[in-house]
Structure 1
Amino acid sequence: MCILFDMSINKSYRIEKDLLGTKEVPDDVYYGVQTLRAIENFRLSGIPLSHYPDFVNAFAMVKQATAQANCELGHLAKEKCEAIKKACQRIIAGEFHDQFVVDMIQGGAGTSTNMNANEVIANIGLESMNHAKGEYQYLDPNNDVNMSQSTNDTYPTAIRLGLLFSHESLLASLDKLTASFVVKANEFDHILKMGRTQLQDAVPMTLGQEFKAFASTLADDLPLLRSVAANLLTAVNLGGTAIGTGINTDPRYQQLVVKKLAEISGQPMKSSFDLVAATYDMGDFVLLSGMLKRTAVKLSKICNDLRLLSSGPRTGINEINLPARQPGSSIMPGKVNPVIPEAVNQIAFEIIGNDVAITMASEAGQLQLNVMEPLIAYKMFDSICLLSRAMDMLRELCIDGITANAAHCSALAENSIGLVTALNPFIGYANSTRIAKKALETGRGVLELVKEENLLDEKVLADILRPENMIAPRLESVSV
Structure 2
Amino acid sequence: MDGIVTTTYRTESDLLGERQVPADAYFGVHTLRAWENFQITGTPISSWPELIDALAAVKQAAAEANAELGLLPPALRDAIIAACQDVRDGRLHDQFIVDTIQGGAGTSTNMNANEVICNRALEHLGHGKGEYAYLHPNEHVNMAQSTNDVYPTALRIATCFAIEHLLKAMAVLRLAFDEKAKEFAGLYKLGRTQLQDAVPMTLGQEFSTYAVMLEEDMARLRETATLIREINLGATAIGTGITAHPDYAAKALTALRRITGLDLALAPNLVEATQDCGAFVQISGVLKRIAVKLSKTCNDLRLLSSGPRAGFGEINLPPVQAGSSIMPGKVNPVIPEVVNQIAFEVFGNDTTITFAAEAGQLQLNAFEPVIAASLFRSFRHLTNGCLTLAQKCVSGITANPERLRETIERSIALVTALNPVIGYKNATSVAAQAYAENRTIREVVLERGLMTAQELEEALRPEALTQPRADMHGKP
TM, length-normalised to structure 1: 0.98
**Partner secondary structure for residue 472 of structure 1:** coil
Task: Please give the per-residue CA displacement for 1:69-111, whole angstroms capped at 9, x wherever unaligned.
Answer: 1111111111111111000001001100111111110000000
Is the aligned partner of 1:66 residue 2:62? yes
Counterpart of 1:222 in structure 2: which amino acid? Answer: M
Deviation at residue 27 of structure 1 after TM alignment: 1.3
Aligned to 2:88: 92
Deviation at residue 166 of structure 1 after TM alignment: 1.3
Deviation at residue 364 of structure 1 after TM alignment: 0.3
Deviation at residue 141 of structure 1 after TM alignment: 0.4
Specify which of 395, 403, 407 is matched with residue 400 of structure 1.
395
Aligned to 1:333: 328
Specify which of 175, 181, 184 is matched with residue 179 of structure 1.
175
Correspondences of 1:345-424 after superposition (within 5 Å): 345-424=340-419
Contact 2:420–2:474, Cα closer than 8 Å, also in 1: no
Contact 2:353–2:370, Cα closer than 8 Å, also in 1: yes
**Partner secondary structure for residue 197 of structure 2:** strand
Aligned to 2:49: 53
Is the aligned partner of 1:136 residue 2:136? no
**Partner secondary structure for residue 387 of structure 2:** helix
Contact 1:30–1:124, Cα closer than 8 Å, also in 2: yes
Deviation at residue 9 of structure 1 after TM alignment: 2.2
Is the aligned partner of 1:202 residue 2:185? no
Contact 2:420–2:473, Cα closer than 8 Å, also in 1: no
Aligned to 1:160: 156
C-alpha distance in 1 between matches for 2:217 and 2:162: 16
C-alpha distance in 2 between matches for 1:478 and 1:105: 65
Deviation at residue 8 of structure 1 after TM alignment: 3.4
Aligned to 2:296: 301
Is the aligned partner of 1:466 residue 2:461? yes
Is the aligned partner of 1:36 residue 2:32? yes
Correspondences of 1:240-259 after superposition (within 5 Å): 240-259=235-254
C-alpha distance in 1 between matches for 2:440 and 2:458: 18
Aligned to 1:433: 428
Counterpart of 2:345 in structure 1: which amino acid? Answer: E
Q: Mean alpha-carbon deviation: is it higher for 71-80 or for 142-151?
A: 71-80
C-alpha distance in 2 between matches for 1:162 and 1:423: 57
C-alpha distance in 2 between matches for 1:362 and 1:71: 35
Specify which of 208, 214, 227 is matched with residue 212 of structure 1.
208
Counterpart of 1:355 in structure 2: which amino acid? Answer: D
C-alpha distance in 1 between matches for 2:4 and 2:145: 33
Task: Please give the per-residue CA displacement for 1:206-246, whole angstroms capped at 9, x wherever unaligned.
Answer: 000000111111111112211210x2111110001000000
C-alpha distance in 2 between matches for 1:428 and 1:264: 69
Counterpart of 2:324 in structure 1: which amino acid? Answer: S
Contact 1:44–1:105, Cα closer than 8 Å, also in 2: yes
Contact 1:237–1:278, Cα closer than 8 Å, also in 2: yes
Task: Please give the per-residue CA displacement for 1:99-151, whole angstroms capped at 9, x wherever unaligned.
Answer: 11111100000000000000000110111112111111111000010000000
Unaligned regions of 5+ residues in structure 1, if any? none
Is the aligned partner of 1:267 residue 2:252? no
Contact 2:414–2:441, Cα closer than 8 Å, also in 1: yes
Counterpart of 1:198 in structure 2: which amino acid? Answer: Q
Contact 1:460–1:478, Cα closer than 8 Å, also in 2: no
Aligned to 2:233: 238
Deviation at residue 478 of structure 1 after TM alignment: 6.9
Is the aligned partner of 1:280 residue 2:272? no
CA RMSD of aligned residues (A): 1.0
Counterpart of 1:428 in structure 2: which amino acid? Answer: G
Structure 1 stretches of at least 4 aligned residues deviating more than 2 Å after TM superposition = none
**Partner secondary structure for residue 82 of structure 2:** helix
Aligned to 1:106: 102
Unaligned regions of 5+ residues in structure 2, if any? none
C-alpha distance in 1 between matches for 2:284 and 2:307: 36
Counterpart of 1:424 in structure 2: which amino acid? Answer: N
Aligned pair count reads: 475
TM, length-normalised to structure 2: 0.98
Aligned to 2:144: 148
Deviation at residue 417 of structure 1 after TM alignment: 1.1
**Partner secondary structure for residue 236 of structure 2:** coil
C-alpha distance in 1 between matches for 2:472 and 2:415: 16
C-alpha distance in 1 between matches for 2:62 and 2:358: 30
Q: Mean alpha-carbon deviation: is it higher for 438-447 or for 68-77?
A: 438-447
Is the aligned partner of 1:476 residue 2:463? no
Task: Please give the per-residue CA displacement for 1:247-293, whole angstroms capped at 9, x wherever unaligned.
Answer: 00111111111111111111111110100000000001111110011
Deviation at residue 479 of structure 1 after TM alignment: 7.6
Contact 2:189–2:200, Cα closer than 8 Å, also in 1: yes
Counterpart of 1:99 in structure 2: which amino acid? Answer: Q
Aligned to 2:219: 223
C-alpha distance in 1 between matches for 2:47 and 2:191: 44
Q: Mean alpha-carbon deviation: is it higher for 373-382 or for 197-206?
A: 373-382
Aligned-residue sequence identity (percent) comes to 55
